[in-house]
Structure 1
Amino acid sequence: MAGSKGIFLSLGSNLGDRQATLASAREEIAKRIGTISGESSVYETEPWGLADQPAFLNQVIRVETALAPEEVLRIILDIEHELGRVRQERWGARVIDIDLLYYNALVLDSASLTLPHPRLRDRLFNLIPLTEIAPDFINPLLKKTSLELLQMCTDDGVVSKIS
């Protein structure tokens, strides 16, 4: 699409039919945000931040979009809500979590959105699938590739490829 930007989204689910929820999220993203041009395998991961909850399924997708970053965020929040996400506690269990990791090479720090995602470099459950589909993508703030960030990550959570 003309004027499109490559963005990376992280999808996660640890309640209900996790696979079906990820599939529904991908379908809605393709309808409302843009063309999915890459998707990682799906990984089962230990919870991050709050350990006493079910394991997550996580995936990273690349999407081509002509939408502005704030519009992408608004649609992401709408999709989460429509798929049943209820925001109760930070890092708690959730039907769906969609995070905007990168919006092309944009660096942004506004009241509603920080890009690149500020905790990306600390999370194996994001870095492993991201590196699978974009090992050479350079974090515009840290000037490191996805692979370099993965190699530097000190997170020791278990991340297992399931499909």
Structure 2
Amino acid sequence: MRFDNNLLLASFLGVATAFRRSCRPDTTSHGTDTGFYSITNTDTLTNIAADFCTTISELQNLNNNAPTTTGDILKVPCKARKRDCSRIPGSDYGYYTIVEGDDLATIGADFCTDANGLAIINDNLIAPPPLSPGMVLEVPCSWN
């Protein structure tokens, strides 16, 4: 894969790190993959839903359409996501730098997409792409 390093350098001058929200797994509901998230004063349901790879409607269903305010605890889809992105301001996308052991399927899952979605976003990927540490991918990054 050939990547335009000048484009990459220019884009990094205007990126902001988007920190993932974390959830506390619900250990009482076996097999549901849900957990709990405490709402902060900067949260919106749109951003919370995007970060947990779900929809506002699903959040409302999980929480019986209860109103939400700062400090409330929401039930959310909860799975460990170890990857984060550097968000492009004014965009729903950001950059992720490949590390040893990464593959498109697991990267995609952390960014609410799949390998095909990443290939579409990164039109310079050759299938199957030879991923190497240090390579930079554009990824969905809309939660902050």
Give me the TM-score of the superposition, normalised by structure 1. 0.26
Which structure has greater helix proportion? 1
